[in-house]
Amino acid sequence: TEELIRTSEKLSVAGQLAAGIAHEIRNPLTAIKGFLKLLESELGEKKHYLQIVQSEIQRIELILSELLVLAKPQATKFVPKEMRLLLTHVTALLETHGNLHNIQIITEIEPDLPLVECDENGLKQVFINFLKNAMEAMPNGGEIRIEAKKNGHDSIVIRFIDQGCGIPEEQLRKIGQPFFTTKEKGTGLGFMVSKKIIEDHGGTIHITSRVNEGTTIEVTLPIHIQTTPLPPKHVSTL
């Protein structure tokens, strides 16, 4: 337990540092983008160089935006929210993208699901990350199921079940390590950030996967947040 607490403290210091650096890099980047725009008309036939620079800047911005999520706002407010609303909102955001890729999102949310004390934006970010990963794992389309149900009296379980490529055993334990990605354009930060947010809620994440069949990401969230975070109950597979 001692060890667990120390690891999670270390993580949060590293997280704060990463977010701090991300924030500092964003400002000069904004200036660079502005001046590049001004240069655009003067570049003539070398204009295509600028496009490369701009797309590389976009990539830096993507990485920064993922790292910035690690910065805990001064006082994160945990407010009781309906998971149905959060999930519906997030699903709506990604529906068009899904349709374009032949992906159907099916939600099955238990009626009378209790409210969850949460940081709404944090949880939305997590759900978006998991849905995007699921979609990216299904290049030929398919179905994503989202299940949400009660789990005893004091927590709920949300599952994201995809029919994607799956995750080989030897990669499973690397997921959630900063910058671990198998994607050409991946950042390898989505899972780490999601894990951090769920742990801030006193929750846990569990992955089960079968290569070529699909992956299930299971999130367990307590209904009431503890003011002093407890160490995780189980050692997660992450």
Q: Using the rule CB under 6 A, give the single segment among 70-78, 116-124, 157-165, 225-233 that binds ligand ADP.
A: 157-165
Q: Smallest Cα–Cα separation from 123: which of 88, 92, 86?
A: 86
Query: Contact, 125 vs 194, CB < 8 A?
Result: yes
How many alpha carbons lie under 13 Å from residue 168 in its C-beta half-sphere? 3
Q: Give the x-and-dash track for 202-231 against ligand ADP (CB under 6 A).
A: -------------x----------------
Q: Which of residues 119-158 bind Mg ion (CB under 5 A)?
A: 133
> Quick one: CA torsion of 7, 11, 17, 21, rounded to 10 degrees?
140
Q: Which of residues 114-153 bind ligand ADP (CB under 6 A)?
A: 129, 133-134, 137
Instruction: Name the residue with the smallest CB distance to Mg ion.
Output: 190
C-alpha distance from residue 133 to each of 10, 27, 101, 116 (Å): 26, 29, 13, 24
Q: Using the rule CB under 6 A, give the single segment among 10-18, 150-158, 185-193, 226-234 that binds ligand ADP.
A: 185-193
Among 98, 164, 202, 203, binds ligand ADP (CB under 6 A): 164
The answer to the question of residue 190 lying near Mg ion (CB under 5 A) is yes
Q: Smallest Cα–Cα separation from 166: which of 208, 205, 105?
A: 208
Query: Could you give the CA distance from residue 61 to residue 83 in angstroms, rounded to a whole number?
Result: 29
Point out which residues bind ligand ADP (CB under 6 A).
129, 133-134, 137, 162, 164-165, 167, 175, 180-183, 186-191, 215
